[in-house]
Amino acid sequence: MPDADPAPPRAQPAAPLQAQPAGGASRPRTGRTVLRTAVSAALIAAAFGFVLPHVASYRSVWASVQAMTWPHVLLIGTAAAASMGAYWITIRAVLPWIRIRQAAAVSLGSNAVANSLPAGGALAMGISWAMLSSWGLSTADYVLYTLVTGIWNVFTLLGLPVLALLVMATASRPGTALITAAAVGVALLAAAATGLGLLLHSRAFALRTGRALQRPVAAAARLARRSPPADVAGALLGFRDRAGALLTARGWRITAATVASQLTLWLVLLACLRAIGLSQAQVPWQTSLAAFAFIRLLTALPITPGGLGITELGLIGLLAAGASHTVSVRVTAAVLLYRAVTYLPPIPLGALACLIWRHAPALISTSPRARAGQDRAQVTAPSSPHRTSQPDEAAATARSATVAPGAPR
């Protein structure tokens, strides 16, 4: 390829993720958005204005936070920064051609939207798509990135309760909730892993699955006021070919990075518990991992932005169950501190990343020549008729991923 070769035209289309609803659908969609916003606001207000003050007063919580030593503050800050950076590495595990600052911009920008707006997951995907496509990522590769990261996040969320159940058994008898979550996780994980394995290794299975999904996907698209995909089987075959090549080359990196991303997030919670003064005898690390795993699974589809309110109440309820008032106050302080250092920083940092990307892109992106070289270096399967003929259907499939890359962490 000559050095002057411009970025491929296929890297530019943004229309599939900006499709407008059919005429007359704006009012029902607006109504659903208003209702969703009202429900989220009511749940958040009830959690922070009514329930939490009955567990511990905010004054006592603030007193517990103020009692922390500087080494503990430094420990929490380091853990929070490591947790944030771990997801950047996850993005690079799937897209090795982008730089760490680009992965940071994508992660921060999408999380800023997801953490601040009701049902911000779809908008977060729009932010990540806009950034990545501006750096040379094609529609098909974005779909691949979205689905692979989403599937691996789901696998991790389903597997965490199983891991928590095993380590919980070393400290105390696991509760009914954790046992139930682990059992459900094992069943769903086994079913999902089996289905993915069959999809990747059997073309006939992929064709049958695509044909079986044609009508349900079309019905879901109509409910969402979207154009139904013309050929789900073709889109699924295209994903199968590309995902197989990617996972063969980088599957272990993606798995390790995804698991590390979740575990570093739990370490932030553990650091907050210890910094507030809760000992191993009061809140064992095994219990904190179990609570973290259960709540992460519970809030996989957040009702509120970033699971705000639900995550706090769930963690406090599990960690302070049966504890004295003093311990309950400290647990509340630790959970609110954990949420503050993981939930809030991506919002201003993400806004800053979006501003830099829009107004000073040279600080983040690479030159067109380097971008063209990176595009050629992507790990993808050889082209097939199914890959190139179904971008719109594939993009629609990506938008329906269970846990999107921009979903709140």
Q: What is the pLDDT along the chain (409 residues), one digit of tens a residue?
A: 434 443 433 444 444 444 444 444 445 567 777 777 888 888 899 999 999 999 999 999 999 999 999 999 999 999 999 999 999 999 999 999 999 999 999 999 999 988 887 666 778 888 999 999 999 888 888 888 988 898 898 888 888 888 888 887 776 677 777 677 778 777 877 887 787 777 777 778 777 777 777 777 677 666 656 676 777 777 777 778 888 888 888 889 999 999 999 999 999 999 999 999 999 999 999 999 989 998 988 887 777 888 889 999 999 999 998 889 999 999 999 999 999 999 999 999 999 999 999 998 888 876 443 444 444 444 443 333 333 333 344 444 444 443 444 444 5
Long-range CB pairs of 94-99, under 8 A, 24+ apart, other chains included: 94/144, 94/145, 94/148, 94/149, 94/246, 94/250, 94/254, 95/132, 95/137, 95/141, 95/145, 95/378, 96/250, 96/377, 96/378, 96/379, 97/374, 97/375, 97/377, 97/378, 98/132, 98/135, 98/374, 99/366
Specify the amino acid at residue 108. Answer: L
The count of C-alpha atoms lying within 13 angstroms of the C-alpha of 232, restricted to the half-sphere facing its C-beta, is 21
In this structure, is residue 10 part of a structural domain? no
In this structure, is residue 14 part of a structural domain? no
Neighbours of 136 (CB within 10 A): 25
In this structure, is residue 1 part of a structural domain? no
In this structure, is residue 320 part of a structural domain? yes
Joined tokens for residue 158? 């389903």
Helix (H) or strand (E) segment spanning residue 131? helix 121-134
In this structure, is residue 153 part of a structural domain? yes
Instruction: Please give the tally of structural domains in the chain.
Output: 1
In this structure, is residue 404 part of a structural domain? no
Please give the Cα distance from 235 to 397 (Å, whole number).
9
Please say whether the beta carbons of 279 and 327 come within 8 A.
no
Nearest-5° angle of CA 375, CA 376, CA 381?
100
Q: Is 244 exposed, middle or buried (0-12, 13-18, 19+ CB in 10 A)?
A: middle
Nearest to 197 by CA among 144, 135, 139, 240: 240
The count of C-alpha atoms lying within 13 angstroms of the C-alpha of 269, restricted to the half-sphere facing its C-beta, is 29
In this structure, is residue 6 part of a structural domain? no
In this structure, is residue 364 part of a structural domain? yes
Please say whether the beta carbons of 260 and 85 come within 8 A.
no
Range of the domain at 76: 24-399
Tell me the whole-structure pTM to 2 decimals.
0.77
